[in-house]
Amino acid sequence: MHDVSAVILAAGEGTRMRSGTVKVLHPLLGRPLVHHSVDLCLRLGVKRVLVVVGAQAEAVRKALAGRPVEFVSQAEPQGTAHAVLQTEAALQGFAGAVLVLAGDSPLLTDETVRQLLDTHRAARAVATLLTARVADPTGYGRILRDRQGRLRRIVEEVEATAKEKRLSEINTSLYCFAGPFLFPALKAVKRSPVKGEFFLPEVVRVYVSQRRKVHTLLAPDPTEVLGINTRAELAQAASLLRHRVHERLMAAGVTLLDPAATYIDDTVTIGPDTVVYPGVVLQGATTIGAGCVLYPHCRIQDAHLDEGVTVLDGSVIVQSEIAEGCVIGPYAHLRPQSQLKAKAKVGNFCEVKKAVLGAGAKVPHLAYIGDATLGAKVNIGAGTITCNYDGFAKHETVIEDEVFVGSNTNLVAPIRVGRGAIIAAGSTITETVPPDAVAFGRAAQVTKEGRAAETRKKRQAMAPPKADDD
């Protein structure tokens, strides 16, 4: 679509969100709202994407860093027509179609926008608008037509009469304009006497007065054009978009046992034959391989799981790499930069941080492994911790293949345990352990025979007197 440029309006504050963050930066299924509009245009392959920024402009620029977009500033908020007018210099000489959409339009589909562009070309219009019929048009501009059904003008709700407010056909704020006619018309738009702003829908009145052809397309699904101005509308949009994501995944062979109780961002990919239990939350750039099982109430963010991974109840995995056949949980926590090789296991109430577990390595329960590298088939006993922080810096623990670490062991980093070594339970290890060695790091046990009875007598003598029962 090299004959199409897109203008995304992202300059408003969104005061009805009651937030210190501008509306277009509020997250929706893993991405800021403005990402949904920008990514739609990029998928369509438009020639250029211009984003009009105003309130919190630097934050919006930062949120879109890395995407091939251009920024145009609207220094003073004077309405949507004024916002589009700021792109005149950037689009000077452009003879193609200019697609204008809001930065808070996450539910628009590629198919609907393509249909709008095709309709615009076929109609040879100076402007083509997407409209919709909704049961409750409150908050939207109304479409006014003449007796022949031709578009006459669009009236904003704040300026509409009681009769006009009863109209059910609304303006969706998605437009396609013929580039050469756009900016002269924008300059002819008059300031609203009610709001004091220059409204983009008023360009229709300008075109009609010039007897130019303005065309409309009725949205096939009105839910696509739902506006987002409040937190409640944001939640409604999330529910609708989440339903689409779930439908797409199930059609691709993923089992969602209770879709309504499952929360998956639209940035997540899942392979076929994976089973997802209720309460699972999958966020960000997460990829799940085929044949995995994700049990209830686990949360996985920006992580990669290979095929056949099992994540048991209540586990949290963040920015980690999990190879095929691994088992995690229940109630395990994999913090960033954790890497599990094939068939490794991290079990009940274990925490792993910035560590590599070799193939078949096991950390079955109640352990902390941080800043460590574990070789293949290492077994870590319950209660073991890597003491990786000395109060000033982090240090690394290296445990080579086939090491057995007994329960309640403290491995004080920096330290290396050689291949095949055995660490006795209850040890504190502070020095290198050679391969195939057995290491003890305990204080000697002291036993005082007969002391138990004497100790009980002393405790009874020290106990406070009991209160009278009466």
Question: 441, 443, 379, 444: which is closest to 410 by C-alpha?
Answer: 441
Low-confidence ranges of the chain (pLDDT < 50): none
Q: List for the chain the helix, strand, coil content (%; round to 5).
A: 25, 30, 50
> Tokens at residue 422, please?
């055995």
Cα distances (angstroms) measured from residue 453 to each of 196, 449, 450, 458, 460 = 91, 10, 6, 9, 11
| Pair 253, 390 in one domain | yes
Residue with tokens 């296991």: 345
| β-strand partners of 270 | 288
Q: What is the pLDDT of residue 185?
A: 96
Does the residue 261 lie in any domain?
yes
Is position 469 within any domain? no
- Mean pLDDT score of the chain: 94
| pLDDT at residue number 459 | 83
List, in order, residues 6 or more apart from 48 with CB less than 8 Å away: 5, 6, 70, 90
In this structure, is residue 50 part of a structural domain? yes
Q: Has residue 467 been placed in a domain?
A: no
Active-site option among 2, 246, 365, 395: 365
Q: At what angle do helices 179-187 and 202-209 cross, to 10 degrees?
A: 100
Single residue among 192, 225, 258 that ends a domain in this structure = 225
287/416 same-domain check? yes
Residues 380 and 252 in one domain: yes
Range of the domain at 154: 4-225
Name residues whose C-beta falls within 8 Å of residue 186's C-beta, 6 or more positions apart in sequence.
81, 84, 85, 88, 198, 200, 203
Residue 312 and residue 172 share a domain: no
- Given this model, what pLDDT does residue 470 score? 52
Place of tokens 């022949």: 148
217 and 277 within one domain: no
Residue 462 falls inside a structural domain: no
Work out the burial of residue 84: count CB atoms within 10 Å of its CB; fewer than 13 is exposed, 13-18 middle, 19 or more buried. Answer: buried
Element (H, E) at 180: helix 179-187
Question: Using alpha carbons only, how large is the chain's radius of gyration in Å?
Answer: 32
DSSP, collapsed to helix, strand or coil, labels residue 73 as strand
The sheet that has 310-311: what strands, in order across it? Answer: 255-256, 275-276, 293-294, 310-311, 327-328, 345-348, 362-365, 379-380, 404-405, 422-423, 438-439
Residue 193 and residue 325 share a domain: no
Residue 459, in any domain of the structure: no
- Which residue reads 């700021």 in tokens? 86
Kindly report the number of other CB atoms within 10 A of residue 455's CB atom: 11
Domain containing residue 93: CATH number? 3.90.550.10
Residue 379 has what DSSP assignment?
E
- Tracing tokens 């100790």 back to the chain, one arrives at 455
Residues 220 and 273 in one domain: no
Whether residues 200 and 294 share a domain: the answer is no
- Please report whether residue 330 resides in a domain: yes
pLDDT score recorded for residue 469: 55
Q: Are strands 48-53 and 4-10 parallel, antiparallel or unpaired?
A: parallel
Q: What is the pLDDT of residue 148?
A: 87
Residues 297, 203 within the same domain: no
DSSP classification of residue 182: H
Asked whether residue 151 is domain-assigned, the answer is yes
CATH number at residue 379: 2.160.10.10
Q: Clarify whether 120 is annotated catalytic.
A: no
276 and 133 belong to one structural domain = no
The reply to whether 291 and 417 lie within a common domain is yes
Task: Judge if 32 and 158 occupy the same domain.
Answer: yes
The pLDDT score that the predictor gives to residue 194 is 84
Give me the pLDDT at residue 56, please.
Answer: 95
What local confidence, expressed as pLDDT, does residue 200 receive? 94
pTM of the full predicted structure? 0.89
Number of structural domains (the chain) is 2
pLDDT at 1: 65
